[in-house]
Chain A
């Protein structure tokens, strides 16, 4: 038997909008533009550096800053601030500026056609597929250590945002197309901060205009098409643009801290597209590395007898092998989550919820494992090879902003030994496991009234979490064996 759905008790924690200076700051019409400016300046330097700077990845400021500093900061930001990157992202903002013909003012005219986004694409499918392509480009072509490919990626995303927002309403690119939107949205479910309405009754009974969604003559409506005064109960699509805070005539929007991960178990209507995207992200971070490590050399050799060889990185047997193994790894991950969900249904001895419904609920709870595994991966790189950060900054300073000069030998800074690094990585991976176990238990408690049934559904999913954790631990530990 199911419990009545609902978000459960309200999260504790203070509403930082009650603090007058913060409230005044985010109330400024130009607030988002002002916080985008510094990021836009950094992205401009990165674009120049990656487009015309030196190709040595350890001396190119753009590649080092993008794939180590930005990527690491992005992962950390999920834990505390949710989709804060989207608030300051100049690439998505470019599309908005083109559409509105204004940097921050509410203007009555527009350059956009404001077509509705096609109904079959109103889900995370396209964004998830593009995220897989994004990761494949990195593993097939080595995008993260190619300055030119990094520049190309930035340009493609900026032009894509401008082009799509010119034709479609609101921030259609950021919501449905950006290769990172599904990844950022799902990881932000873990965040310790949320933007929500303060009192549901105020929105239901006192608000007839729904300005947070529709906008008014002074403010724009939610650019992501969310309804903060109504159905929005997760961080999934909230980019913290503060438009709803400015627009609410009842001052009924709160920005508050809460227990991390609350969205994972408290969301009222878990959707299948988000669950599939979650299982894909978990697969890319835990299952796929092991699959690639074990099978790539052999499959590449086998395909070399069939496909023409090319000069690396355009080595067709390798590119095809990486593609096939991506399909295998992602398929395996989806199969594992589905299989263990079916086992959970079998354990409950109940016809409902179905295995599919359990998959849709439980898959979200695996996000902390993926997030903490990615942090463990990056921690390893940052601690082992801290030097390139210094080298790249020095190289940029010597030839600002074009970054065409190599300053000399690369710096080698040894921060921690392999055993110490692995211990820290294991702590992160175990942290992700414990959070996932807790989220799975909260979901089980929500789905089933009876504790024994809830436990019966939880046990197989806990088993899956353990398997995925073992994959992470042993993949990271290969160098120690």
Chain B
């Protein structure tokens, strides 16, 4: 059983590493384009597509006034920042402008997400509004913790089965 077990561990390790690599690749910071400031309002242009936003990190200073100009490149999407009370419906191929909003939020990282159920990748269609220069969010460790827990569950179950306990009771 040693060889198939080794093959299984190797396959799981290789595929698992590929998954983590792909996730970090997708989460890589896409820099903001050339924003324009008019009458004290910074206009931030964002593109939405299935299933992501570009740029995916928008940095603003506390107290800055911002207007978001969002364009969907494919389907109907939404552009929502709950903390700013924004929820813009995005029609395919058209620009949607938010009202000018003053970012009266404490320094921190706030989620931007699609608010219209847009398909299989909808839960991953997110971006971040970074206000000021906050420390890294502790929630970024959660996927690692969940992954370790799932590996522990599989190994623990195997140990339980090996110890001779029958699931049939």
- A479 pairs with B93, CB closer than 8 A: no
Q: Per-residue CB proximity of A163-197 to B under 8 Å, as 1/0?
A: 00000000000000000000000000000000000
Known: A58-B89, A290-B19, A441-B157. A433 touches B26 (CB 8 A): no
**A–B Cβ pairs within 8 angstroms, 8 of them:** A144-B117, A288-B120, A311-B92, A381-B123, A433-B153, A466-B150, A470-B147, A478-B27
Query: Taking beta carbons and an 8 Å cutoff, which residues of A are in contact with B?
Result: 8-9, 56-58, 67-68, 135, 138-139, 141-142, 144-146, 284, 288-290, 292-294, 296-297, 311-313, 315, 318, 340, 343-344, 346-347, 376-377, 380-381, 384-385, 387-388, 409-414, 417-419, 422-423, 425-426, 429-430, 433-434, 437-438, 441-442, 445, 451-452, 454-456, 458-460, 462-463, 465-467, 469-471, 473-481
When distances are taken between beta carbons in the complex, the residues of chain B under 8 Å from A430 are: 146, 149-150, 153
**Is A479 a contact of B126 with CB atoms below 8 Å?**
yes
Q: Residues 113-139 of chain B: 1 if any A CB is under 8 Å from the residue's CB, otherwise 0?
A: 101111111111011100000000111
Tell me the complex Cα distance, A386–B62, Å: 27
Cβ contacts under 8 Å, B1 to chain A? 347, 452, 456, 459
Query: Size class of B's contact patch?
Result: 35 or more
Complex contact A142–B119 (CB within 8 A)? yes
| 3 nearest A-B pairs in the assembled complex, by CB-CB distance | A479-B126, A477-B143, A419-B139
Q: Is the CB–CB distance between A313 and B74 below 8 Å? A: yes
A476 with B5: CB separation less than 8 A: no
Interface of A is mostly: helix
Given the known interface contacts A8-B168, A57-B76, the answer about A481 and B140 at a Cβ–Cβ threshold of 8 Å is yes
B115 touches A293 (CB 8 A): no
> B141 CB to closest chain A CB, in angstroms?
9
- Closest residue on chain A to residue B166 by CB atoms: A445
Answer whether residue B111 sits at the interface, using C-beta atoms and an 8 A cutoff. yes
Is A463 within 8 A of B123, CB to CB?
Answer: no
- Tell me whether B168 and A445 are in contact (CB under 8 A): yes
Whether A437 contacts B22 by the Cβ 8 Å rule is: no
Chain A minimum-CB-distance residue to B52: A293
For B113, the closest partner residue in chain A by CB is A384
B residues in contact (CB < 8 Å) with A: 1, 4-5, 7-9, 11-12, 15-16, 19-20, 22-27, 49-52, 72-76, 78, 80, 82-83, 85-87, 89, 92-93, 111, 113, 115-124, 126-128, 137-140, 142-143, 146-147, 149-151, 153-154, 157-158, 161-162, 164, 166-168
* A387 x B11 contact (CB < 8 A): no
Closest to A9 in B: B168
Question: In the bound complex, do residue A481 and residue B167 qualify as a contact, i.e. CB atoms below 8 Å apart?
Answer: no
- Given A312-B92, A343-B4, A412-B82, answer yes or no on A479-B158 (Cβ-Cβ < 8 Å): no
Please report the C-alpha to C-alpha distance between residue A463 and residue B26 in the assembled complex, in whole angstroms.
25
> A294 and B25: CB pair below 8 A?
yes
Q: Write out the residue numbers on chain A whose beta carbons fall within 8 Å of the beta carbon of B113.
A: 384-385, 479
A312, B93: Cβ atoms under 8 Å? yes
Query: Is A57 in contact with B50, judged by CB distance below 8 angstroms?
Result: no
User: Are B92 and A313 in contact, CB atoms less than 8 angstroms apart?
Assistant: yes
- Contact partner of A463 among B12, B22, B111, B167, CB < 8 A? B12
Additional A-B contacts beyond A288-B120, A292-B120 (13; CB < 8 A):
A340-B8, A343-B11, A412-B82, A412-B85, A433-B150, A459-B5, A460-B11, A467-B11, A473-B146, A473-B150, A477-B146, A478-B26, A480-B140
The answer to whether A422 touches B142, judged by C-beta atoms less than 8 angstroms apart, is yes
A467 with B72, Cβ < 8 A, contacts A288-B120, A384-B115 known: no
Q: Is the CB of A387 within 8 A of B126?
A: no
Q: What residues of A have a CB within 8 angstroms of the CB of B115 in the complex?
A: 58, 384-385, 387-388, 410
Residues of chain A within 8 A of B161, CB atoms compared: 441, 454-455, 458
Whether A470 pairs with B19 at a CB distance below 8 angstroms is yes
A297 cross-chain contacts in B, Cβ below 8 A: 49, 52
Could you tell me if A385 and B150 are in contact, using CB atoms closer than 8 angstroms? no
A138 contacts B76, C-beta separation under 8 Å: no
Residues of B within 8 A of A346 (CB): 4, 7
Is A145 within 8 A of B76, CB to CB? yes
CA–CA, A470 to B14, complex, Å? 12
Distance of A442 from chain B, by nearest CB (Å): 5
Known: A419-B142, A481-B24. A343 touches B7 (CB 8 A): yes
